[in-house]
Amino acid sequence: MEKIYDVIILGAGPAGLSAGLYAGRSRLSTLIIEKGVDGGQIAITNEIENYPGQVLEGETGPSLIARMTEQAKKFGAERISDTINSVELDGEIKKVVCSNGTYQGKTVIIATGAKHRNIGCENEEKFIGKGISFCATCDASFFEDFEVYVVGGGDAAVEEAMYLTKFARKVTVIHRRNELRAAKSIQEKAFKNPKMAFMWDSVVVKVDGDELLNKMYVKNVKTGEITTVEADPDDGLFGLFGFIGLLPNTELFEGKIDLDKGYVKTDDNLHTNVPGVFAAGDLRIKVLRQVVTAAADGAIAATEAEHYLAHKK
């Protein structure tokens, strides 16, 4: 007979791994399903300095996540690599249909996280991977000594822009307002960095180039003026990184659980509207999306799953 897990966790970012640790430690049979590498957005984050207790010099997203994965495993959580194609969440036994098999569980914790939002300019798709990127960790080294532009004004944009200054000769942040949204401590470091520049009240409206990105049109939203940015002829290319917020990975759950603008609605104890189904991490409606809040969500969701199962007995 096919195994029925106590808990199936969808996603192995900080929320999913923390849920795995708590569920495993409660002696629940636990399966974590992840299609890519563990860590979600943290897998492509260079510097983690605000996770409590994290004082290791040079801690990166991947190094922190590797320890979280190890810890979940240590407490017995199984982890498989598979792509989730559909879910059946109603009823006592939930089904998660993946490319390599169907998994059954008495409870499900949804922790599939969020992904980057596209810049939204003309020709964007044409230049993704040819100058446009959404991952500084992955692509910064391609821009060694080139000019780089970063769109956005939040924590991600400013932190990743500073990381990019280690490679690029100059990094210009293009922000649609005249002040940053990023935490003040992050802003202070950015304003002190001699390689950083800022284009305020500005949005990228169009990108262009032959094979590679070497031209873009930036509009001042106050005056309507369009500035043409061109690559230095010796370079023939510049980099454009987008960090303008997130979109929740919840397409699979549309019509199955309550969502609001794509984000999962939960109560304070992370129950969705479907009995036995919980949500944790960045895909939830919440005010603060950080590793610490994702990890806390995972702990709460797993503990609530345990309570739910105990009451069923």
Interface with ligand NAP by CB under 6 A: which residues? Answer: 50, 120, 151-157, 159, 176-177, 181, 203, 243-246, 289-290
Closer by beta carbon to ligand NAP, 203 or else 240:
203
Q: Respond yes or no: is residue 135 known to be catalytic.
A: yes
Residue 209 Cβ vs ligand NAP, minimum distance, rounded to whole Å: 21
**Token output for 274:** 């479907």
DSSP for 105-129? EEEEEE---EEEPP---BTHHHHBT
Residue least distant from ligand NAP (Cβ): 154
- Residue where the block lists tokens 């690599």: 81
In the annotation, is 138 catalytic?
yes
Q: Which is nearer to ligand NAP, 58 or 255 (CB)?
A: 58
Closest CB to ligand NAP among residues 28, 204? 204
How far apart are alpha carbons 15 and 194 in whole angstroms?
A: 36
**Which of these is catalytic: 90, 138, 232, 258?**
138
Residue closer to ligand NAP by CB (options 76, 245) is 245
Closest approach of ligand NAP to the CB of residue 65, in Å: 15
Q: How far is the CB of 233 from ligand NAP (least distance, A)?
A: 28
In whole angstroms, the minimum distance from the beta carbon of 33 to ligand NAP comes to 24
Which one, 19 or 48, has the nearer CB to ligand NAP?
48
Query: Nearest distance from residue 149's CB to ligand NAP, in Å?
Result: 12
Q: How far is the CB of 211 from ligand NAP (least distance, A)?
A: 26
Q: Which residues contact 78 (CB under 8 A, 6 or more apart)?
A: 30, 31, 32
170, with CB counted inside 10 A (0-12, 13-18, 19+), is middle
Which of these is catalytic: 6, 98, 121, 139?
Answer: 139
State how far the Cα of 50 lies from the Cα of 155, in Å rounded to an integer: 12
Q: Which is nearer to ligand NAP, 33 or 203 (CB)?
A: 203
Active site residues: 135, 138-139
